[in-house]
Structure 1
Amino acid sequence: MLRRPRRTLEVAVPIRRDDGSVSTYAGVRVQHSTTRGPGKGGLRYHPSATVDDVRALAMLMTWKCALVDLPYGGAKGAIRCDPAELSAAELERLTRRYASEIAPLIGPDKDILAPDMNTGEREMAWIMDTYSTAMGHPVGASVTGKPTIVGGTAPRRAATGAGIVTCLRRAATLAGQAPPVRVAISGYGNVGRTVAELLAGDPDMRVVAVADAGGGRVDPDGLAIATLGEWLDAGGALADAPVGAPTDREAVLVADCDVLVPCAVAGVLDEGNADDVRARVVVEGANGPTTAAADAILAERGVMVVPDILANAGGVIVSYFEWVQGLQAMSWPATEVAERLEARLVAALEAVVACAAAYGVDLRTGALCLAVQRVVDAHRARGLYP
């Protein structure tokens, strides 16, 4: 049953362009599993999005939600378009039409949408409003990742980075690394920068190298993260920042450090550089940054890899908290959200470590074993009807 999605809905999304012409885009929403709860997953806009891609991402959301023990199944959506070619008004019409087309299958107890590639708070507000208008009353819990003014939760913006930091600290302890733990971050976007800034105030941690697509900076004594942030906020390029020494993005992957955090794109760790990775722990901030060949090399070398399905689950966990708050029509303080996020991730990591040890496998395989087993157990408990 779990080899195939529960349902796949493909829709036409016609919109009237600003010049009066009509363009039609292909949209899809896949619900892989709703056995453990309503579907949960993002909506992305990309010109090369395919149904097969969305099916795979929906399945990954099933495992991710089960792994961190959320009462959700997995879902994903996409519209095949280039958002850079659309005005804000056209994007609004596109988003609302898509939401209207899939409305029978979504809702707070069916399938909850969230931001993904090229979508954000703005699009979630449009979807919530479209769905609420159809229902005849406000339904804030129909989406997560929406603006705080309409029921969003502020900590969600930094949730993925905060979750990575929680996994990083716990993994460093499990690996027996003595402080200060030296950290290198590849991919200094929203997530990578959040990780660095959260670690900057910890005397037991030292961020020694960072990089983005244009280059980076390195300092074995630790980079001045606050100064780096001021430089970036002023519009400066990371490669030219007045901290540390220059380096490039490839060099950061093999930098002299204890923990490597790849937060950029998929496949940056491959068979060409895995032998040169000097970190003893890799915490995957991005989705799929390690190829299968690199995984095997790192495992043979005894490098602990905290898989993406766990390490970057902070976003979906805090989305769950936002959904719960929406259902209860109340707001939690940011400190409570942070405490709940840390507790859930630590519990998940310890469960993965135990599962991996029981089967004699690496953490990635252990995480998948645990996640799939939880969904299987739920299927068996509910039975098959009719």
Structure 2
Amino acid sequence: MNALAATSRNFKQAAKLLGLDSKLEKSLLIPFREIKVECTIPKDDGTLASYVGFRVQHDNARGPMKGGIRYHHEVDPDEVNALAQLMTWKTAVANIPYGGAKGGIGCSPGDLSISELERLTRVFTQKIHDLIGIHTDVPAPDMGTNSQTMAWILDEYSKFHGYSPAVVTGKPVDLGGSLGRDAATGRGVLFATEALLAEHGKGIAGQRFVIQGFGNVGSWAAQLISEAGGKVIAISDVTGAVKNSNGLDIAKLMKHSLENRGIKGFDGGDAIDPRSLLTEECDVLIPAALGGVINKDNANEIKAKYIIEAANHPTDPEADEASTSDSIWQTNTPTATKCTICLKCFLSEFLLQILSKKGVLILPDILANSGGVTVSYFEWVQNIQGFMWDEEKVNNELKTYMTRGFRDVKEMCRSHHCDLRMGAFTLGVNRVARATVLRGWEA
């Protein structure tokens, strides 16, 4: 199931649980605007190269649309649509005043020089500058982009509209970026994991973690978890995977990765097949790389008790979505009962789901990895106010938002007798639906 189909399926299940009017449901699903542009640039060797750029603006009922821009060779309209929709629900779950958007350019950034990346970014900005803005659509970094990319977008946009630091987030601190932004998604993963484990009388300390992905999110999550007393026993990236049952030395692994452009060859553990990483025995599994990595082919082999979705859409619905298993309700609420009406609906539409039957608890991406967009919101607020926060304030506010988000999701689980994913989706969809109706939507 591709990302768009999977995301739409989760939305439709949430809409059914909420009893949304069919016309409102359709309205919420259709993107506000889809943009596709050609970006032609001169390369360093004098030849011309053309790339296709996308920006999908999904919803703005709750505020300016918000979402990253990724540079990756597999960027396509379906992926961008799915991620834009996810951003709409994610910002609503986090309860920050944004809608959802996503963008990307179909390219391989590793094959482009810095000057080529700058030219590509500036051309893309020229094509979309009149459709983004401080109170319209606020981009941010994503896969294959970084703070430097945002600096180029800011500069190019400002040529048309005057200096506008709040038009993008994830900028360098010297251009109005927020302290704590680099670590925000990984730190949010830590806070979300703490909240989930606390529901079951546990803490980070002493738990065994496996992390797939050692980029910005995975490396920060690993470092912060290790500092909190967790034992990270296995990690992978695009170069390989390493395992140490006694716990990896994350500081040394980060140094090795920076010096060698990957974790391959690290001597602080045993090299393992990256394909086996997801099925390593552990307490907490954190997929922090690409989507769709947990699927019906490997879900039966998952040995983790908890999955924290630090990546976007890492779990395919065929491996996950909780509908008919006796183990679906795993939220420490003794009085919870299954909703017979919803159960009948699910039985008619969906198969028994693998991970749910195994009793694996999944903290969904629209909650677990919302730390990045939350601190992006803080950055936007600081830019608009012209008043910068210290890092302690950023981190304290982030913990407040992540903890409150988990609490709100749990409340939806209790109200609708559903699992954490559906709790998050019903929370997000309900908030967007209410805002849409309050602003004057008519059937």
TM-score range, shorter chain: over 0.9
CA distance in 2, matches of 1:214, 1:50: 25
User: What do residues 269-307 of structure 1 show as CA deviations (whole Å, max 9, x unaligned)?
Assistant: 222332232221110111222122221211122211001
CA distance in 1, matches of 2:165, 2:148: 14
Name whichever of 9-18 and 113-122 sits farther off: 9-18
Give the structure 2 partner of residue 45 of structure 1.
Answer: 71
Deviation at 1:207, TM superposition (A): 1.7
Compare relative contact order (CA 8 Å, sep 6+) and give the higher one, 1 or 2. Answer: 2
Give the structure 1 partner of residue 389 of structure 2.
Answer: 332
CA distance in 2, matches of 1:48, 1:257: 31
User: What do residues 248-267 of structure 1 show as CA deviations (whole Å, max 9, x unaligned)?
Assistant: 32333222221111112222
Aligned with residue 93 of structure 1, among 119, 144, 164 = 119
Question: Contact between 1:177 and 1:258, CA under 8 Å: does it hold in 2?
Answer: no
Q: CA RMSD in A?
A: 2.2
> Alpha carbons of 1:364 and 1:215: their partners in 2 closer, same or farther (altered >3 Å)?
same
Are 1:281 and 2:306 matched, yes or no? yes
CA distance in 2, matches of 1:228, 1:182: 17
Aligned with residue 174 of structure 1, among 190, 194, 199 = 199
Question: Contact between 2:412 and 2:426, CA under 8 Å: does it hold in 1?
Answer: yes
CA distance in 1, matches of 2:30, 2:201: 41
Name whichever of 67-76 and 7-16 sits farther off: 7-16
Unaligned runs of 5+ in 2: 1-26, 321-352
Give the structure 2 partner of residue 7 of structure 1.
Answer: 33
Give the structure 1 partner of residue 415 of structure 2.
Answer: 358
Deviation at 1:103, TM superposition (A): 1.6
| Structure-to-structure mapping, 1:172-321, within 5 angstroms | 172-177=197-202, 179-203=205-229, 205-235=230-260, 238-295=263-320, 296-321=353-378
Question: Contact between 1:172 and 1:259, CA under 8 Å: does it hold in 2?
Answer: no
2:278 aligned partner, one-letter code: L
Deviation at 1:195, TM superposition (A): 1.1
| Structure-to-structure mapping, 1:345-384, within 5 angstroms | 345-384=402-441
CA distance in 1, matches of 2:263, 2:187: 22
Q: Which TM-score applies when normalising by structure 1?
A: 0.92
> Alpha carbons of 1:213 and 1:23: their partners in 2 closer, same or farther (altered >3 Å)?
closer
CA distance in 2, matches of 1:47, 1:237: 20
1:231 aligned partner, one-letter code: H
User: What do residues 159-207 of structure 1 show as CA deviations (whole Å, max 9, x unaligned)?
Assistant: 111111111111112133365122121222332221111122223x222
Question: Contact between 1:175 and 1:281, CA under 8 Å: does it hold in 2?
Answer: no
3-state secondary structure, aligned to 1:345: helix
Q: Which TM-score applies when normalising by structure 2?
A: 0.81
Name whichever of 263-272 and 66-75 sits farther off: 263-272
3-state secondary structure, aligned to 1:375: helix
CA distance in 1, matches of 2:398, 2:356: 28
Unaligned runs of 5+ in 1: none
Deviation at 1:145, TM superposition (A): 1.1
Deviation at 1:138, TM superposition (A): 1.3
User: What do residues 319-363 of structure 1 show as CA deviations (whole Å, max 9, x unaligned)?
Assistant: 111111110112100011001111101111111122123222211
Name whichever of 333-342 and 218-227 sits farther off: 218-227
User: What do residues 6-53 of structure 1 show as CA deviations (whole Å, max 9, x unaligned)?
Assistant: 112333333344455544433332211111001111122234432333
Aligned residues: 384
Question: Contact between 1:39 and 1:112, CA under 8 Å: does it hold in 2?
Answer: yes
Are 1:147 and 2:204 matched, yes or no? no
> Alpha carbons of 1:218 and 1:85: their partners in 2 closer, same or farther (altered >3 Å)?
closer
Question: Contact between 1:286 and 1:308, CA under 8 Å: does it hold in 2?
Answer: yes
Percent identity between the two aligned chains:
42
3-state secondary structure, aligned to 1:96: helix
Deviation at 1:85, TM superposition (A): 4.4
Aligned with residue 117 of structure 1, among 135, 143, 160 = 143
Give the structure 2 partner of residue 28 of structure 1.
Answer: 54
Deviation at 1:385, TM superposition (A): 8.1
Aligned with residue 66 of structure 1, among 80, 83, 92 = 92
CA distance in 1, matches of 2:271, 2:110: 32
